[in-house]
Chain A
């Protein structure tokens, strides 16, 4: 359309001043927003929080005990054997690292796309990323057998191994670099986003240790617009860096498998398939966490049904990408004509671990299809169940990829079975303990909703003026008609 038509077509001009949809219910004032979000941190936590925290601490205690036992005895206490050298440990690693991806998607990619619905959920999603990456990093470290030598995976000076260096051609080394970069950048992004809110909390604190801590953390922030201008550009640059970073991280994780020759692993579809799966599982976890916090912290006004609806749609979409990837894998195995590859997929669907495969299909292919009707997307209970199923399904997907591929790889003489031991299960449960302990402490002590971003989208910005002037005109017209 030419510019003249743009100027003269009243419909187009009207469309341009339409306000964006509201992502906060009601029209809370600026002080009300601060109050609503900061108050849960200032009072005593409710019963619900204490119960959740108690359970999470038990999980953490279990993790500490299990890992201590593991390090004392060696990884023989796991069910690993010569055929299946990677099992629960690496499954948990890929599971947790995938969970983190939704946080970066929400905080960085949706920022670049200017999706305002991210504002209420980005902070907790980023926190989830950080805690999930912490859980993920634990597994390769304890899987090493000699975790006290874990620093060997980094090149360092002075090099005490003579001039022998790490093998930079190995995807395992790429993985170490990718995940430490991902953790660092996510941490910086999360912290930087929190600085203005920490300043708000500092100014609300009456004194004492609380004020001191918030003063140290808020870096002397005083709301200067010259700083805000630089701050917004910095956030944008960090988001621009985090976007390709998050895609690279899970691609590299998938290369840990794809660059080997094991049937079921050696395929080019892995990087996009893993990234889609990561976002799918991450959104499942975001839904679980936000539904819990929404109910226990009474933040229904800020985490609205619209937010849950959007997240459900992303879950459904990425779920379909994952389903498509499953189908493609089977097709390639048949069409590619490689004997071992073909056997692997027959074994996946009919072998001793077939139940894991069907559970995965049930959770990752069929469950997201439930999200088509609006009725299900607008029911908190239904969404909560779906989100749990997604989490279960994605854990089993990694189990199927890792264990089912390894247990019958090439020659039948090398086949074996993997049976998890109590320690295997204990470490998995314990990692959830670590994750939820961190998350519950976070929602208790730090602003779990970005107050300053909510202020910007709650109808106090430049759009309000356009709105109110429209209202005035309408009112005048109505008055004229009445007269």
Chain B
């Protein structure tokens, strides 16, 4: 779906942060910011909440531990108990390494895939670039025209005053 955006480009990360702060202080909501590297201070400036992705690692990791423990118990105690060197069937301590490895494996893979799902990244997706060079040396601040109450002229003025190199209105799918 194509929507209308006001896109301001910057050549400097610090000016971008300042601009985000200014725009937000005038009650405009920032649609998104595009940058060639993670600019520090943008999280606070944009008022982003800390992501909850690590919880997925915790949950899936805990599942991994449980799975490894129960599986080893099932195979060595219930399904086919085998006397190896007189050690007890339920050698819980000897199972710790595999429990640990499976925790790490499933925890790590889960956050990777969760990131892809949450950020809607998938192989072969057609990239939607806010401006040319956002993966090289350009920073873009994007506001979205939600309804007629959006004061395009005022927003444009604000962005120009905060040091944008160029401010453009664009219909795009971002």
**C-beta contact mask, A281-317 vs B, less than 8 Å → 1, else 0?**
0000000000000000000000000000000000000
Is there contact, CB below 8 Å, between A237 and B38? no
Is there contact, CB below 8 Å, between A230 and B51? yes
* A113 CB → nearest B CB, Å: 17
B67-118 with Cβ < 8 A to chain A: 71-72, 75-76, 79-80, 82, 84, 87, 91, 94-95, 97-98, 100-102, 104-105, 107-109, 111-112, 115-116, 118
In the bound assembly, the distance between CA atoms of A252 and B99 in angstroms comes to 13
Is there contact, CB below 8 Å, between B43 and A229? yes
- Residues in B with CB closer than 8 Å to A192 are 112, 115
Is there contact, CB below 8 Å, between B108 and A238? yes
- Residues in B with CB closer than 8 Å to A169 are 76, 84, 87, 91, 94
- Residues in A with CB closer than 8 Å to B133 are 31, 203
Interface status of A164 (Cβ within 8 A of chain B) = yes
Is there contact, CB below 8 Å, between B97 and A225? no
Q: A215-B127, A223-B36 are in contact. Are A248 and B119 (CB under 8 A)?
A: no
**C-beta contact mask, B11-31 vs A, less than 8 Å → 1, else 0?**
011100100000000000000
Interface status of A104 (Cβ within 8 A of chain B) = no
Interface status of A167 (Cβ within 8 A of chain B) = yes
Binds A, one of B134-142, B149-157, B161-169: B134-142
Q: How many residues of A contact B (CB 8 A)?
A: 70
Interface status of A202 (Cβ within 8 A of chain B) = yes
Is there contact, CB below 8 Å, between A216 and B123? yes
Q: A174-B97, A245-B104 are in contact. Are A455 and B123 (CB under 8 A)?
A: no
- Residues in A with CB closer than 8 Å to B39 are 225, 461-462
In the bound assembly, the distance between CA atoms of A230 and B43 in angstroms comes to 10
Is there contact, CB below 8 Å, between A228 and B54? no
User: Which of B53, B109, B130 is close to A230, meaning CB atoms less than 8 Å apart?
Assistant: B53
* A5 CB → nearest B CB, Å: 27
Residue of A nearest to B116 (CB): A219
In the bound assembly, the distance between CA atoms of A164 and B81 in angstroms comes to 9
A169-207 with Cβ < 8 A to chain B: 169-171, 173-174, 177-178, 180-181, 184-185, 188-189, 192, 195-196, 199-200, 202-204
Interface status of B5 (Cβ within 8 A of chain A) = no
Interface status of A138 (Cβ within 8 A of chain B) = no
Is there contact, CB below 8 Å, between A164 and B14? no
Q: A174-B97, A203-B136, A248-B100 are in contact. Are A222 and B48 (CB under 8 A)?
A: no
User: Which of B38, B91, B137 is close to A34, meaning CB atoms less than 8 Å apart?
Assistant: B137
* A203 CB → nearest B CB, Å: 5
Is there contact, CB below 8 Å, between A223 and B123? no
Known: A169-B87, A455-B37. 12 other contacts (CB 8 A): A34-B136, A165-B79, A180-B105, A203-B133, A203-B135, A220-B127, A222-B128, A224-B119, A230-B51, A233-B50, A241-B107, A461-B13
Q: Which residues of B contact A (CB under 8 A)?
A: 12-14, 17, 32-43, 46, 48, 50-51, 53-54, 57, 71-72, 75-76, 79-80, 82, 84, 87, 91, 94-95, 97-98, 100-102, 104-105, 107-109, 111-112, 115-116, 118-130, 133-137, 174
Q: Which residues of A contact B (CB under 8 A)?
A: 29-31, 34, 155, 162-171, 173-174, 177-178, 180-181, 184-185, 188-189, 192, 195-196, 199-200, 202-204, 215-234, 237-238, 241-242, 244-245, 248, 252, 452-453, 455-456, 460-462, 464-465
